Chains A and B, each alone.
Chain A
């Protein structure tokens, strides 16, 4: 039973472009919608998160857009840089468990 579908699996963007990563979920009881960034050999680090009573949140170059009726949320990275190259995971929370998407491997070309 796949509760969280993340897309695309991989993404290559030129420096300065705006990669967009999407996450669709099924469980309407999720109450917290984070994106995590993971570099090779490291643990995931919280990048940005949104609560379901808000439709958009911006922190620096990172923006989450949340569409409650469509049960989707997305991550946008403005003015992307080679240092943003990493794997990104959506991981909405139900109770205390984070339910992880399969990840998007993002490469920003210089």
Chain B
């Protein structure tokens, strides 16, 4: 019963390169959330996706960042032309369905630590 799987665990990119972060939700979970954590800070919401749908991307920078959750395969967070300020830990969480009154549980992955050099 694997939890939320994120890979790679660590990713180093030079400025200007692209970073692709993958998240496989828990079995049976169809909702995925991406969060970013800067050092010594809490997590900041980026985007909420269901299969083939972006539900809310209000926390995601308008430029260079995109996310998808295809019908088959993991959710991908893509950062184009990375800059030093993109260095952070990126966490993915999943839930079994929309978090209405009766469902409160998010399960987080171990994160991808992106370092831009």
> Which residues of A does B touch, CB under 8 Å?
4, 6, 31-32, 34, 41-46, 49, 89, 91, 93, 95-103
> Which residues of B does A touch, CB under 8 Å?
4, 6, 31, 33, 35, 40-45, 48, 56, 59, 91, 95, 98-99, 101, 104-106, 108-111
Find out whether the CB atom of B104 lies under 8 angstroms from the CB atom of A43.
no
Tell me whether A34 and B104 are in contact in the complex, defined as CB-CB below 8 angstroms, given that A41-B110, A43-B109, A96-B33 are known contacts: yes
Contacts of B48 in A (CB 8 A): 96-97
Find out whether the CB atom of A98 lies under 8 angstroms from the CB atom of B106.
yes
Contacts of A46 in B (CB 8 A): 105-106
Contacts of A4 in B (CB 8 A): 42
Contacts of A93 in B (CB 8 A): 99, 104
Tell me whether A45 and B44 are in contact in the complex, defined as CB-CB below 8 angstroms, given that A96-B33, A96-B99 are known contacts: no
Find out whether the CB atom of A98 lies under 8 angstroms from the CB atom of B45.
yes
A89→B45 CA distance, assembly (Å): 14
Instruction: Across the interface, name the chain A residue whose C-beta is closest to B111.
Output: A43
A44→B4 CA distance, assembly (Å): 12
A-B contacts, 22 of them at CB < 8 A, read: A6-B42, A41-B110, A42-B110, A42-B111, A43-B6, A44-B91, A44-B108, A46-B106, A49-B104, A91-B42, A91-B43, A93-B104, A96-B31, A96-B48, A96-B95, A97-B59, A98-B45, A98-B106, A100-B42, A100-B43, A100-B44, A101-B42
A92→B31 CA distance, assembly (Å): 19
Contacts of B31 in A (CB 8 A): 96
Min C-beta distance of B44 to chain A, whole Å: 7
Instruction: Across the interface, name the chain B residue whose C-beta is closest to A97.
Output: B45
A4→B44 CA distance, assembly (Å): 12
- From A89, A96, A102, give the contact of B98 (CB < 8 A): A96
